[in-house]
Amino acid sequence: MKITIEQLLQNIKDFKAGTKIELTGTIYTARDQAHKRLVELLSSGKQLPIQLKDACIYYCGPCPNAPDKIIGSCGPTTSSRMDVYTPKMLDNGVKILIGKGKRSKEVFDSIQKNKSIYLLATGGVGALIAEKVKSFKLIAFEDLGPEAIYEIKIENFPLIVGIDCNGNSLFGRIED
CA distances from 41 to 27, 149, 160 (A): 20, 14, 31
- Is 111 inside any structural domain? yes
DSSP 8-state symbol, 76: B
pLDDT in tens, 69-102: 888 889 999 999 999 999 999 999 999 999 999 9
pLDDT in tens, 12-68: 999 999 999 999 999 999 999 999 999 999 999 999 999 999 999 999 988 877 778
CATH number of the domain enclosing 10: 3.20.130.10
pLDDT value, residue 155: 97
Catalytic amino acids? 35
- Is 169 inside any structural domain? no
CA distances from 72 to 62, 90, 115, 133, 171 (A): 6, 28, 32, 10, 30
- The DSSP-derived string for 19-72 is -EEEEEEEEEE--HHHHHHHHHHHHHTPPPSS--TT-EEE-B-PPPPPTTSSS-
pLDDT value, residue 69: 86
Nearest to 159 by CA among 120, 101, 117: 120
pLDDT value, residue 98: 98
pLDDT value, residue 172: 80
Confidence of residue 176 (pLDDT cuts 50, 70, 90): low
The parent domain of residue 64 ranges over 2-163
Half-sphere exposure of 16 (CA within 13 A, CB side): 0
Whole-prediction pTM: 0.95
DSSP 8-state symbol, 9: H
In the predicted model, what is the mean pLDDT of residues 148-160?
96
pLDDT in tens, 106-147: 999 999 999 999 999 998 888 888 999 999 999 999 999 989
- Is 170 inside any structural domain? no
Q: Are 57 and 77 in contact (CB under 8 A)?
A: no
Domain count, the chain: 1
- Is 174 inside any structural domain? no
- Is 83 inside any structural domain? yes
